[in-house]
Structure 1
Amino acid sequence: MTDRNLRDLLAPWVPGAPARPLRDMTLDSRSAAAGDLFIAVAGHHADGRRFIPQAIAQGVAAVIAEAEGEAIDGDIREIHGVPVIYLAQLPQRLSALAGRFYQQPAEKLKLIGVTGTNGKTTTTQLIAQWANLLGETGAVMGTVGNGLYGQLVATENTTGSAVDVQHVLHDLVGQGATLAAMEVSSHGLVQHRVAALPFAAAVFTNLSRDHLDYHGDMQSYEAAKWLLFSEHQVGAAIINADDEVGRRWLAKLPDAVAVTMADNLQPGCHGRWLKATAVNYHDGGAHICFSSSWGDGEFDSRLMGAFNVSNLLLALATLLSLDYPLDALVSSATQLLPVTGRMEVFSAPDKPTVVVDYAHTPDALEKALEAARLHCKGQLWCLFGCGGDRDKGKRPLMGAIAEQFADVVVITDDNPRSEDPQAIVNDILTGLLDPGRARVVAGRAQAVTNAIMQAKAEDIVLVAGKGHEDYQIVGNRRLDYSDRDTVARLLGVMA
Structure 2
Amino acid sequence: MKLAEVKAVLEKNGLLLSIANYQGNENLELDSVSIDTRNIVPETLFICRKGVKFDSHALVPEAVRLGAKALIVEKPVDADQIPMLLVSDSRYAEAVVSSAFFDFPHEKLRVYGITGTNGKTTITTLIHYVLTRKGKKGSLLGTVKNIIVDRYYGSEHTTPGALEVLKETHETIAKGGEFLSMEVSSHALSMKRVESIRFDYAILSNITQDHLDFHKTMGDYANAKYHLFELLKADGKAILNLDDEWSTKFASRLPLDKTILSYGLYNEEKMPDYAAKNPKVTIEGLSFELWVKRVKVGTVRSQLIAEYNVHNLLSVIALLHREGLSFDEISAYISEFRGVEGRFELYPHVGNDIDLVIDFAHTPDALEKTLGTARALTRNRLIVVFGAGGDADQSKRPIMGQVVAERGDVLIITTDNPKSEKPFDIIRQIESGIRTDVPYLLVEDRKMAIETAINIASKGDMIILAGKGHEHYQIFDHAYLPFSDREIAFQMIRTLKKSAS
How many Å apart are 1:247 and its aligned residue?
Answer: 2.3
Aligned partners of 2:289 and 2:298 also within 8 Å: yes
Gaps of 5+ in 2: 12-21, 496-501
How do 1:17-416 and structure 2 match up within 5 A? 18-66=26-74, 70=76, 79-148=79-148, 152-233=152-233, 235-253=236-254, 255-263=259-267, 266=270, 273-293=273-293, 296-349=297-350, 350-416=352-418
Distance 1:446 1:118 in 2: 28
Match of 1:249, as an amino acid? Answer: F
Query: Counterpart of 2:380 in 1: which secondary structure?
Result: coil
Aligned partners of 2:419 and 2:477 also within 8 Å: yes
Aligned partners of 2:108 and 2:173 also within 8 Å: yes
How many Å apart are 1:426 and its aligned residue?
Answer: 1.6
Distance 1:241 1:81 in 2: 57
How many Å apart are 1:325 and its aligned residue?
Answer: 2.2
How many Å apart are 1:149 and its aligned residue?
Answer: 7.2
Gaps of 5+ in 1: 72-77
Q: Structure 1 residues 451 and 88 mapped into 2: Cα distance closer, same or farther (>3 Å)? A: closer
Match of 1:426, as an amino acid? Answer: R
Asked if residue 458 in structure 1 is aligned to residue 460 in structure 2, the reply is yes
Offset from partner CA, 1:244-269 (integer Å, 9 cap, x none): 111222333463111102528747xx
Match of 1:456, as an amino acid? Answer: S
Distance 1:256 1:109 in 2: 21
Q: Structure 1 residues 37 and 441 mapped into 2: Cα distance closer, same or farther (>3 Å)? A: same
Distance 2:150 2:462 in 1: 28
Asked if residue 6 in structure 1 is aligned to residue 3 in structure 2, the reply is yes
Aligned partners of 1:210 and 1:361 also within 8 Å: yes
Distance 1:405 1:12 in 2: 54
| More divergent stretch after superposition (55-64 vs 197-206) | 55-64
Match of 2:480, as an amino acid? Answer: R
Query: Counterpart of 1:447 in 2: which secondary structure?
Result: helix
| More divergent stretch after superposition (435-444 vs 368-377) | 435-444
Aligned partners of 1:117 and 1:205 also within 8 Å: yes
Q: Structure 1 residues 132 and 445 mapped into 2: Cα distance closer, same or farther (>3 Å)? A: same
Aligned to 2:16: none
Query: Counterpart of 2:111 in 1: which secondary structure?
Result: strand
Q: Structure 1 residues 209 and 444 mapped into 2: Cα distance closer, same or farther (>3 Å)? A: same
Aligned to 1:75: none
TM-score (norm 2): 0.88
How many Å apart are 1:286 and its aligned residue?
Answer: 0.7
RMSD of equivalent CA atoms = 2.6
TM-score (norm 1): 0.89
Q: Structure 1 residues 322 and 348 mapped into 2: Cα distance closer, same or farther (>3 Å)? A: same
Offset from partner CA, 1:28-81 (integer Å, 9 cap, x none): 234323222101234444443333222111111322233xx659xxxxxx9445
Distance 1:280 1:433 in 2: 32
Give the number of aligned pairs.
478
Distance 1:486 1:261 in 2: 38
Q: Percent identity?
A: 32
Aligned partners of 2:415 and 2:444 also within 8 Å: yes
Aligned partners of 2:362 and 2:388 also within 8 Å: yes
Match of 1:338, as an amino acid? Answer: G
Aligned partners of 1:429 and 1:435 also within 8 Å: no
Aligned partners of 1:345 and 1:355 also within 8 Å: yes
Distance 2:452 2:465 in 1: 12
Distance 2:403 2:150 in 1: 34
Offset from partner CA, 1:356-395 (integer Å, 9 cap, x none): 1111111111111012223222212211011223222111
Query: Counterpart of 2:73 in 1: which secondary structure?
Result: strand
Distance 1:126 1:477 in 2: 32
Query: Counterpart of 2:458 in 1: which secondary structure?
Result: coil
Offset from partner CA, 1:205-225 (integer Å, 9 cap, x none): 001111111111111111111
How many Å apart are 1:89 and its aligned residue?
Answer: 4.0
